[in-house]
Amino acid sequence: MQTPEVLIAGLDEVGRGSWAGPVVAAAVVFHRALKLPGLKDSKLMTAKRREFIYEILIKKAHVGVGMASHEEVDQFGLLHATFKAYERALEALPVVPTKLLIDGRDKFFFAIPHQSIIRGDQKVRVISAASVVAKVTRDRLMVELAETYPNYHFEDHKGYGTRKHQARLKTFGPSPIHRISYAPLKALKCEQLEFLS
pLDDT in tens, 153-178: 999 999 999 999 999 999 999 999 99
The reply to whether 54 falls in a domain is: yes
**42-97: pLDDT as tens digits:** 888 899 999 999 999 999 999 999 999 999 999 999 999 999 999 999 999 999 99
pLDDT of the residue at 196: 34
Answer yes or no: is 1 within a domain.
Answer: no
pLDDT tens for 17-48 read: 999 999 999 999 998 889 998 898 888 889 99
Q: Quick check: is 14 in a domain?
A: yes
- Is 55 within the bounds of a domain? yes
pLDDT in tens, 95-106: 999 999 999 998
- Helix (H) / strand (E) element for 64: namely strand 62-68
In a 3-state reduction of DSSP, which class is residue 172?
helix
Rounded to a whole number of angstroms, the distance between the first and last alpha carbons of the chain is 76
Higher pLDDT, 188 or 123: 123
Q: What is the pLDDT of residues 131-153, one digit of tens each?
A: 999 999 999 999 999 999 999 99
C-alpha span between 97 and 25 (Å, rounded): 16
Is 40 among the domain residues? yes
The predicted pLDDT at position 4 comes to 53
Q: How many domains does the chain have?
A: 1
- The CATH number of the domain holding residue 49 is 3.30.420.10
Show the domain range for 32. 8-196
- Report H helices in 10-124: 47-60, 70-76, 78-92, 120-123
In a domain, 3, yes or no: no
159 occurs within a structural domain: yes
Does the residue 2 lie in any domain? no
For residue 162, which phi and psi values (nearest 5 degrees)?
Answer: -75, 170
> What letter represents residue 46's amino acid?
T
Which residues on adjacent β-strands are paired with residue 9?
A: 100
Is the pLDDT assigned to residue 1 strictly greater than 80?
Answer: no
